[in-house]
């Protein structure tokens, strides 16, 4: 659906809807239908690492979300309601996250939490959000804990799980580097443990010759010790399940040790601009960031800036220039705006006067895949809340994440399959940009 389609009642708040073939209701008006919703506004909350070890790069995500909401508001918002996003800094520290989320829920009374970013941080508040029956949408983590609909029915993930990403990376390595001696450096939480598990499942028992972990709260010590251990084990390919700062420290250590290795990371760990800037800063200019990050392989489940003619990239570039130009245009920005679009699409489908349970019910509705910018549809069910089930390999070329080869999908049996096209059926994909999609009303969702 287009942003213009989201602006269903731009002509005025609480206006009656004229009956049409797509919207048979003729008397519905905007009403305060849930906490955080008035007749003219919707208040959303988010937990973000604006400071702390995960801030580089990730601190750009919430401003990008906010910028896209401002763009949508300029077109009338959702059913005439303007979107406001309150995002709070939890410093990537679970001890702080609960205080932050309680402030958003109890003081500000937000309708939903969107893109709570971080694995351990999100895990610390997930039971609370579900106990309060607050929609916990598009979690900024590949943790399997986003996919427990029986225990946490209000939580919905977005990115492929870390185990899925590990399996995909393993399949790629088997194909491209079948004789590699693989070393792994991983964050000592669900990000690292599940990523390593998926990688082992794909590579088999003997390909991984050494592993090293790190504590994200101790990155000031660098990763020299871990990389020296991997070098001593004779690895020639390193997979890192890491946040951007750790990715940068890994590449610095490899440079200092004059290692010639191939590097792989999961999605959201190796934005070229973020990591290159970190390398320049953390090495005090002794290591060239752009040179060090060139050739790094990663994954994406979204379009990238390597294709400036992609309609989504054109849209996000336009919004960035108008509403977010003080911050970089990079993979983090694309991610934040994608989350915002998916949120707007969800709110539209939930109806003119949405409730928290109504949002959950629509996302769980069979066949209710979101038609946002993902390379694979974002779909849920009453038994599955992970979101994306696949990703595409990227390689940093000329400081840009450049897609390589097919899209890898995890099927219902947990096996990695391949598709050579991310195009949706033309009748659907074209409607996203031509405005042909009729406004979605409560009875047509």
Spatial distance between the Cα atoms of 111 and 393, rounded to a whole number of angstroms: 36
Judge whether residue 188 has pLDDT over 50: yes
Helices (H), 296-403: 311-323, 331-349, 356-364
Judge whether residue 62 has pLDDT over 80: yes
DSSP 107: I
pTM of structure? 0.89
Judge whether residue 19 has pLDDT over 80: no
- Range 439-442 contact pairs with CB under 8 angstroms and sequence separation of 24 or more: 439/5, 439/8, 439/22, 439/23, 440/1, 440/5, 440/8, 440/22, 440/348, 440/349, 441/8, 441/17, 441/22, 441/23, 441/24, 441/25, 441/351, 441/352, 442/25, 442/28, 442/351, 442/352, 442/353
- % the chain with pLDDT above 70: 87
Q: Which residues contact 125 (CB under 8 A, 6 or more apart)?
A: 47, 97, 98, 101, 116
Q: Tell me the domains of the chain and their CATH numbers.
A: 3-160+304-388+424-434 (3.40.50.2300), 162-300 (3.40.50.2300)
pLDDT, one tens digit per residue, over 193-231 is 999 999 999 998 789 999 999 999 999 999 999 999 999
Spatial distance between the Cα atoms of 225 and 215, rounded to a whole number of angstroms: 13
- % the chain with pLDDT above 90: 79
pLDDT of amino acid 3: 54
Q: Please state the rounded mean pLDDT for residues 412-433.
A: 53
Q: What angle do CA 33, 336, 96 make, to 5 degrees?
A: 75
Instruction: Using alpha carbons, select from 156, 131, 138 the residue that is nearest to residue 146.
Output: 156
User: 3-state DSSP call for residue 401?
Assistant: strand
Q: Please state the rounded mean pLDDT for residues 23-50.
A: 86
Give how far Cα 145 sits from Cα of 111, 120, 272, 408, Å: 22, 10, 28, 22
Judge whether residue 72 has pLDDT over 80: yes
Judge whether residue 15 has pLDDT over 80: no
Judge whether residue 37 has pLDDT over 50: yes
- Report which of residues 9 and 101 the model is more confident about: 101
- Report which of residues 208 and 28 the model is more confident about: 208
User: 3-state DSSP call for residue 281?
Assistant: helix
Beta bridge partners of 42: 37, 83
Judge whether residue 442 has pLDDT over 60: no
pLDDT, one tens digit per residue, over 370-421 is 888 988 878 899 999 998 888 999 999 999 999 999 999 877 676 778 776 5
pLDDT band of residue 434 (cuts 50, 70, 90) is very low
pLDDT of amino acid 167: 94
Q: Please state the rounded mean pLDDT for residues 297-323.
A: 96
Tell me the HSE value of 127 on the side-chain side, using a 13 A CA sphere: 2
pLDDT of amino acid 14: 33
pLDDT of amino acid 314: 94
Judge whether residue 157 has pLDDT over 70: yes
pLDDT of amino acid 430: 30
For helices 224-232 and 244-256, give the axis angle rounded to 10 degrees. Answer: 60
pLDDT, one tens digit per residue, over 78-137 is 999 999 999 999 999 999 999 999 999 999 999 999 999 999 999 999 999 999 999 999
Give the mean pLDDT of the chain. 88
Number of Cβ atoms within 10 Å of the Cβ of 88:
18
């Amino acid at each position: 659906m287009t942003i213009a389609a989201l602006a269903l009642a731009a002509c005025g708040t609480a206006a009656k809807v004229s009956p049409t073939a797509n919207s048979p209701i003729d008397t519905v008006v905007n009403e305060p239908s849930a906490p955080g919703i008035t007749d003219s506004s919707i208040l959303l909350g988010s937990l973000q690492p604006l400071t702390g070890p995960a801030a580089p790069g990730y601190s750009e995500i919430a401003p990008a979300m906010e910028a896209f909401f401002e763009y949508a508001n300029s077109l009338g918002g959702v059913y005439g309601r303007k979107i406001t996003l309150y995002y709070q800094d939890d410093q990537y520290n679970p001890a702080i996250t609960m205080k932050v989320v309680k402030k958003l829920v109890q003081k500000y009374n937000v309708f939903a939490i969107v893109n709570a970013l971080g694995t351990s941080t999100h895990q610390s508040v997930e039971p609370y959000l579900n106990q309060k029956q607050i929609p916990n949408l598009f979690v900024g983590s590949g943790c399997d804990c986003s996919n427990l609909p029986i225990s946490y029915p209000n939580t919905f993930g977005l990115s492929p799980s870390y185990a899925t990403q590990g399996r995909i990376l393993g399949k790629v390595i088997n194909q491209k580097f079948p004789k590699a001696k693989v070393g792994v450096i991983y964050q000592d939480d669900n990000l690292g443990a599940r990523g390593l598990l998926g990688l082992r499942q794909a590579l088999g028992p003997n390909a991984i010759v050494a592993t090293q972990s790190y504590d994200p709260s101790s990155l000031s010590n660098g990763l020299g010790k871990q990389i020296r251990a991997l070098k001593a084990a004779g690895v020639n390919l390193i997979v890192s399940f890491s946040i951007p700062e750790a990715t940068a420290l890994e590449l610095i250590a490899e440079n200092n040790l004059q290692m010639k290795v191939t590097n792989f990371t999961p999605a959201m760990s190796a934005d070229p601009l973020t990591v290159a800037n970190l390398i320049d800063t953390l090495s005090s200019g002794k290591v060239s960031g752009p040179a060090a990050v060139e050739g790094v392989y990663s994954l994406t489940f979204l379009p990238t800036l390597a294709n400036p003619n992609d309609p989504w990239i054109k849209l996000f570039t336009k919004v960035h220039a108008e509403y977010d130009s003080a911050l970089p245009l990079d993979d983090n920005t694309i991610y934040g705006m994608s989350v915002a679009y998916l949120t707007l699409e969800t709110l539209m489908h939930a109806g003119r006067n949405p409730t928290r349970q109504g949002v959950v019910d629509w996302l769980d509705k069979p066949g209710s895949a979101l038609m946002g910018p993902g390379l694979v549809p974002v779909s849920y069910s009453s038994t599955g809340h992970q979101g994306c089930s696949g990703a595409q390999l990227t390689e940093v070329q000329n400081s840009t994440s450049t897609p390589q080869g097919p899209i890898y999908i995890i099927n219902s049996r947990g096996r990695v399959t391949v598709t050579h096209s991310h195009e949706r059926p033309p009748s659907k994909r074209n409607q996203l940009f031509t405005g042909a999609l009729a406004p979605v009303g409560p009875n047509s969702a």
